Amino acid sequence: MKQEYSIKTQSESNFKSYISRTKNQIDLELKKLGSTISELNLHPQIEYALLSRGKRLRPLLVILSAESVGGERDTVMSLALAFELMHTATLVHDDIIDQDELRRDKPAVHTKWSMNDAILTGDALIALAVELASKYGEEILKTVARSALELCDGEHMDVTSSLETTTERSYFKRIREKSASLFRASTYCGALAGGGSQSEIKALSAFGENFGVAYQLKDDIIDLAHKGTDVLKEQSSGNITLPLIHCYTNSTPSQRKEIENKLQTLMKRNHNTNGTELSRAILETIRRTGSIEHCEKKINEHLNRAVASVSGLKNSEFKDYLIEMTEILRSQD
């Protein structure tokens, strides 16, 4: 998902400055962390994965959640890094599972080195994340571990799903585990480590989950718009997204069969064959059934819940920035 923040008002300008400064600090701390493990044989692979450009959303949410309850970023920076390491580990492993050769326009770890190196790099990143999180006590360590377990379960649901058997309900269960679990854990742990009250921790946990669900839904429709053929090929063998689920569910038996046949044909086409016309036909069916609008509606519902969940937090610039994040996500196309 390629997103850029579009800043137009003074409030948004302050937000952009905050995000830029915080991301720069996170990147600097990641670089420092890389230098502390230079004795490891896997150091080049770990550093390569860690220092690739990214949005750093999960560590940003840890820091913002802590600051919104009166905590200091310096006290939660290691925790923020732990979540970025955990997220990076999942990307390294996802690239292997999905057989993606590129990650953010650069060779994936398994492409640049080997499959074995990539598996071990992901494992090492998880181990480092656990080590960093352990400094914050048993509850936070358990939460990090639980979110990683949910993520693995969600990924398994992802790779074993099929269009014929996937329902909207099972889709939301999957993305709550695979996609939203780290967002929810980031805000929960950030608020807890920042000294938040039980009500503040609960509110920020709800924010993280709803933001994470909306983020994945937005990712689904943006990918369809910008990478239609490749995305539809993936969905013919798993990773079924909401627009296609809604379209399939709201089609007649004959229309469903036609969708199945088109997806199978698209998947079987080799890289030298142009599948543009076929993917356009499937995308047109998705649009005709109102499936994109349905997805947008769900995005707005979850973003509204995210905003409502933090409405009771004390007013601060950090609370405003959390709300700003939802509005920016809402406006992406």
pLDDT in tens, 44-96: 999 999 998 889 999 999 999 999 999 999 999 999 999 999 999 999 999 99
Q: Sorting pLDDT into bands at 50, 70 and 90, what band is 234?
A: low
Question: Average of pLDDT values for 207-224?
Answer: 94
Question: Average of pLDDT values for 143-172?
Answer: 92
Q: Are 239 and 159 in contact (CB under 8 A)?
A: yes
Q: Sorting pLDDT into bands at 50, 70 and 90, what band is 2?
A: very low
250 part of a folded domain: yes
5 part of a folded domain: no
pLDDT in tens, 14-41: 999 999 999 999 999 999 999 999 999 9
Q: Is 43 exposed, middle or buried (0-12, 13-18, 19+ CB in 10 A)?
A: middle
Domain count, the chain: 1
Q: Report whether pLDDT(280) > 90.
A: no
pLDDT in tens, 238-264: 678 999 999 999 999 999 999 888 888
Q: Report whether pLDDT(279) > 90.
A: no
Q: Any idea what DSSP says for residue 314?
A: P
Q: Are 67 and 321 in contact (CB under 8 A)?
A: no
6 part of a folded domain: no
Please provide the average confidence, as pLDDT, over all residues in the chain.
91
Q: Report whether pLDDT(236) > 60.
A: no
58 part of a folded domain: yes
CATH number reported for the structural domain that contains residue 142 in this entry? 1.10.600.10
Token digits for 80? Answer: 């923020």
Range of the domain at 22: 12-331
pLDDT at position 3: 43
2 part of a folded domain: no
4 part of a folded domain: no
76 part of a folded domain: yes
Question: Average of pLDDT values for 298-310?
Answer: 98
pLDDT at position 239: 75
105 part of a folded domain: yes
Residue at 314: amino acid letter:
K
Least reliable range by pLDDT among 22-31, 184-193, 250-259, 270-279: 270-279
Question: Average of pLDDT values for 181-194?
Answer: 98
**Cα separation, 197 vs 186, whole angstroms:** 16
Nearest CA-CA partner of 97 in 82, 85, 108, 113: 108
Q: Are 6 and 331 in contact (CB under 8 A)?
A: yes
Question: Average of pLDDT values for 148-156?
Answer: 94
